[in-house]
Amino acid sequence: MLAELIDLLVPQECVHCSRPGRTLCSACTEELKGRGHRSDPTPSPAGLPPAFSLSEYSGVTRSAVLAHKERGVRSLTRPLGWALARAVAATGHGTVTLVPIPSSRKSRATRGEDTVGLLACRAARDLSAIGVRAEVRPVLTQVRARLDQAGLGQAARTTNLLHAFVATSLRSNGAVILVDDVITTGATLAEGARALRAIGVRPVAVATVAATALKKGEHSVGRPS
């Protein structure tokens, strides 16, 4: 609410098209509307549950995700959270527990907040509003440093992330769904799924705002994981 009030009181421009008025203009907001769909990466890493996203990681979606994550534009939490909610809804479960992928220690120190956690909480509120019972359980913790993923292919990312997360106890009456802002190779989400299975919890799906499809042999320079 505060971020939206700031949008109204302080001159802003759209993070994608630079139109004055709001951090995401009405025309660009329309680009974030749609229905969630399957978005499994190709190839898909071992252990990755079925993946669902709202849109491709390009255009308006890419501009909004980067502004939210890198520049701390919190007025974008609401539209991006709603986008994530629709990706979760596409999994078809009526009661869900959302487990966000944690930000790295470096990211938390720099940004001061867990950006995916913010999106997960907003998504849970929006899911509840459409009749899907949802809760957020941030049970994953990063236990060792990992290199910057930019420029790494799937195999290198998998090695980089091996046993990077641990999970604490989780009791849930609904479907456990891992959530993140973007999926590229799927290595991060696959590691999160492994950590959950290590404590006896089987995630049924992963959901993200956007998905980046890499061509065979392509590296993910400058892209999330």
pLDDT score of 155: 54
What local confidence, expressed as pLDDT, does residue 219 receive? 40
Q: Which parts of the chain sit beneath pLDDT 50?
A: 147, 149, 215-223
Give the pLDDT score at 142: 87
Domain extent listing, the chain:
35-211
Instruction: State pLDDT tens for residues 31-75.
Output: 898 999 999 999 899 999 999 999 999 999 999 999 999 888 999
32: number of Cβ within 10 Å: 21
Which DSSP string do the residues of the chain spell out, in sequence order?
A: -HHHHHHHHS--B-TTT--BSSSS-HHHHHTT-S--EE---SSPPTTPPPEEEEEESSHHHHHHHHHHHHS--GGGHHHHHHHHHHHHHTT--SEEEEEEPPPPHHHHHHHSS-HHHHHHHHHHHHHHHTT-EEEE---EEE-S-----TT--HHHHHHHHTT-EEE-----SSEEEEEEEEESSSHHHHHHHHHHHHTT----EEEEEEE-PPPTT---TT---
End-to-end CA distance of the chain: 30
**The CATH number of domain 35-211 is 3.40.50:** yes
